[in-house]
């Protein structure tokens, strides 16, 4: 699947406006029919990084932001490496979270809230160590295409 080019040379405010206009106007479909909702405040988590282990998402990330258009592409990418997510607080697999790995190391996480409905959790560029951990999780169960379901 072709991915859009990096969106570069924007200010934090311009990236935020772009995020809100592309992602926050209504749910976006995944390749397998899940409709993902985005909230305006998702920008603050997805496009900021922590400057130190004691801080939390306090520095705007130009590296993440230039991949802003990859989120939509990743959701639509049937060839993404899909994995069951992980709940860091509970320290266990989270079967309501789906992790998509695309373009080698770009990760998009959604949380399933109902059948065919989800909400965006975050996206980031994963380190080699993080990718190894993610890939230890089970593959996400893909929908089987049945005789009455031409869209799956």
Output the pLDDT for position 5: 97
What predicted TM-score, i.e. pTM, was given to this entire model?
Answer: 0.91
> Residue-wise over 31-48: b if at least 16 C-beta within 10 A, else e?
bbebebbbeeebbeebbb
Closest CA to 109 of 87, 128, 132: 87
- Asked if residues 7 and 23 have their Cβ atoms less than 8 Å apart, the reply is no
What one-character-per-residue DSSP string does 84-125 give? EEEETTTTEEEEEEEEEEETTTEEEEEEEEETTEEEEEEEEE
Output the pLDDT for position 115: 93
Output the pLDDT for position 52: 77
- Asked if residues 84 and 110 have their Cβ atoms less than 8 Å apart, the reply is no
Each residue's pLDDT, cut to its tens digit, for the chain (152 residues) gives 899 999 999 999 999 999 999 999 999 999 999 999 999 999 999 999 988 777 777 899 999 999 999 999 999 999 999 999 999 899 999 999 999 999 999 999 999 999 999 999 999 999 999 999 999 999 999 875 544 554 44
Residue holding tokens 């072709």? Answer: 2
Strand partners, 81: 101
- Cα dihedral 129/63/81/40 (nearest 10): 120
* Dist CA 69 CA 14 (whole Å): 13
Question: Which residues 6+ apart lie within 8 Å of 31 measured at CB?
Answer: 75, 76, 77, 78
């Amino acid at each position: 699947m072709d991915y859009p080019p990096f969106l570069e040379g924007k200010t934090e405010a311009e990236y935020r406006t772009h995020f809100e206009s592309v992602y926050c106007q209504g749910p976006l479909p995944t390749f397998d029919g899940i409709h993902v909702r985005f909230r305006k405040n998702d920008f603050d988590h997805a496009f900021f990084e922590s400057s130190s282990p004691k801080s939390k998402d306090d520095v705007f990330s130009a590296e993440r932001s230039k991949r802003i258009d990859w989120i939509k592409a990743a959701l639509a990418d049937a060839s993404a490496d899909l994995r069951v997510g992980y709940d860091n607080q509970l320290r266990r697999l989270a079967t309501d979270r789906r992790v998509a790995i695309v373009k080698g190391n770009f990760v998009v996480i959604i949380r399933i809230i109902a059948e065919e409905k989800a909400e965006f959790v975050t996206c980031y560029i994963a380190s080699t160590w993080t990718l190894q951990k993610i890939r230890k999780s089970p593959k996400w169960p893909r929908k089987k295409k049945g005789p009455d379901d031409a869209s799956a």
